[in-house]
Amino acid sequence: MGRLAACALCALLVGASGCGEDDPAPAPWLLDPALPMPTWLSAAGIYADRLTLAPADGFVVYEPPHPLYSNRATKQRLLWLPPGTRIAVGPDGWGFPLGAVLVKTFAYRHVEGRFGDVAIETRVIRRAADGWQYGVYHWDEGGDEARLAAPRWPEARFLLEDLNGSDFTYVIPGELDCEACHATHGDPPVIGLGPGNLDPALALDRPELFEAPPAADPLPARSEPERAAMSYIVGNCAHCHHGAPRGDNASFDLRPAALVANTVGVPTESSASGDGIRVVPGDPAGSALYEAVVSARDPGYAGDFKPMPPVGIVDLDREAADILADWIDSLEAE
Ligand code: HEC
Ligand code: HEC
């Protein structure tokens, strides 16, 4: 029996009563940033009901306008701020209060009544007393409990069945992988909740979360295909490609204001990578950027580019391939 089928069966057998209501009072680690993340998700007080992924009181659901694609997973994102605290909205970006917690649960569409999906992993980022902490909970097959992976737990791989019954390898990253995207993004390491990636509903409906009304940075796109490409690149590339050299991560800037100037007609520069022009107007297949995102993920690919993004993705994002091709084609008319 495939893992999803097993999950579905367990979920049906366990039923709604298998996931008791958590205590409505905030869990101790949420109120005291010196306490470690609990080993069990049931003790973390994030979900009022783990079967339906109904969040506990105080957790706010949000949706970034420029999301990261992750192997067709459905994602649910939550924010928790300690009582009485707010997000600081400053000219140089946002500041999250001590004790702020962000959660992202990855699920696969399969079981009715469970957020439509089977939860696989729940990732947590927290602003603790000694800096930002990362944790990842691995869900059990019954879908009613998840355990925090040990800090240096390596990535976990297993086969999942997708909606069409095909197997594919799913990878839960280890903690070092979290830092590859989040720590390189800068401070704060929160990527999907900030001026460049602000859920408009959060800004409108939850002003009490912010010290001042938050404003989104609009995308400086000149056309609809360019807007779509910028949105995809903000969500999937700019947390590494942000112009500042950090460790071994690429520094060339793909943030919206720099995207066109740094790609159209510009040669690649990484010694660890292939040679080419990043974007050749009208020629997606001849553009290094398209080659890195699309062609390099083909199992038969024999070129020099590493697939982009280099971590967190195992299958090709077909929608992204179309978005990038449309944008590169649209540049020919300029
Ligand atoms: C491939 C890069 C990448 C890796 C690896 C990665 N993340 Fe993220 N993560 C992102 C991006 C991009 C977002 C924002 C967009 C989104 O949520 O779709 C995000 C969002 C999140 C969020 C919601 C808050 C936020 O920053 O927007 C949490 C929580 C989170 N990640 C935790 C983790 C943890 C814990 C790990 C390691 C187990 C991890 N992530 C690994 C790229 C990554
Ligand atoms: C986790 C960090 C990370 C993410 C996310 C990421 N890249 Fe990269 N990228 C790198 C690194 C490191 C290199 C340089 C070394 C190499 O090529 O392996 C690179 C190299 C490249 C290159 C070739 C070198 C050059 O000078 O042009 C292209 C093109 C590229 N990235 C595009 C993208 C695009 C488009 C995305 C989003 C779909 C993306 N990258 C996401 C880290 C990242």
Amino acid at 35: L
Residue in 185, 237, 297 to alter for ligand 2 test, most ligand atoms within 8 A of Cβ:
237
Distances from the Cα of 309 to the Cαs of 29, 37, 234, 323, in angstroms? 33, 29, 12, 15
73 lines ligand 1 (CB under 6 A): no
CA 67 / ligand 2 centre spacing (Å): 18
237 lines ligand 1 (CB under 6 A): no
Which residues have a Cβ under 8 Å from the Cβ of 191 and sit 6 or more positions away? 64, 68, 181, 182, 185, 197, 239
pLDDT tens digits in sequence order for the chain, 334 residues long: 233 333 333 333 333 333 344 457 899 999 999 999 999 999 999 999 998 899 999 999 999 999 998 777 789 999 999 999 999 998 778 999 999 999 999 987 655 555 666 788 999 999 998 899 999 999 987 788 999 998 777 777 767 665 556 666 777 888 888 888 888 777 899 999 999 999 999 999 999 999 999 998 899 999 999 999 999 999 999 988 988 765 555 678 999 999 999 999 999 986 667 899 999 999 999 999 999 999 999 889 999 999 998 877 777 788 999 999 999 999 997 7
307 lines ligand 1 (CB under 6 A): no
Residues 79, 85 contacting (CB under 8 angstroms): no
Question: Minimal CA–CA distance to 81: which of 103, 63, 66, 64?
Answer: 103
CA 144 / ligand 1 centre spacing (Å): 23
- Please give the number of the atom of ligand 1 that sits closest to the Cα of 192: 27
What does the alpha-carbon distance between residue 112 and residue 157 come to, in Å, rounded to a whole number?
Answer: 25
Q: Which residue ranges make up each domain of the chain?
A: 3-209, 224-333
134 lines ligand 1 (CB under 6 A): yes
